Chain A
Amino acid sequence: MRVELKNITKRFGPVIANKGVNLTIEPGEVLGLLGENGAGKSTLMNVLCGLYDPTEGEIFIDDKPVVFDGPGDAIRAGIGMVHQHFMLVPVFSVAENVVLGVEPTGALDHLDLATARAEVERLSEDYGLAVDPDAIIETLPVGVQQRVEIIKVLFRSADVLILDEPTAVLTPQEVDEFFQIVRSLCEAGKAIVFITHKLNEILEISDRISVIRRGEIVGSGDPKELTRPELAEMMVGHPVDFDVARAPYAPREVILDVADLTVLRDHGAVAIDNLSLKVRSGEIVGIAGVQGNGQSALIEALAGLRRVASGRVTFDGTDITHISPRARHRMGIAHVPEDRQRAGLIGNFTVAENMVLDTYYGPPFAKGASIDWGRVHADAARVAEEYDVRTPSVFAAAAHLSGGNQQKLVVARELSRDTRFVIAGQPTRGLDVGSIAFIHAQLMAARDEGDGLLIVSSELDEIMAVSDRILVMFKGRIVAEYAPHIAPLDKGEIGLVMAGAAA
Chain B
Amino acid sequence: MLRLSAPARWWRTALALTALALLVDGTLRGNDDRWPFAPMSQYAFAVDLDGEVRSTHVRALTVEGAEVVVRLSPGGVGLRRAEVEGQLGRFVADPSLLEAIAAAHARRHPDEARYARLDLVQDVSGLRAGSVTGTRTERLATWTVPDPAHPMGCCR
Q: Are A and B a genuine interacting pair, yes or no?
A: no
Residue ranges of A at the interface with B (Cβ–Cβ < 8 Å) = none
| Chain B residues with a Cβ under 8 A of chain A | none
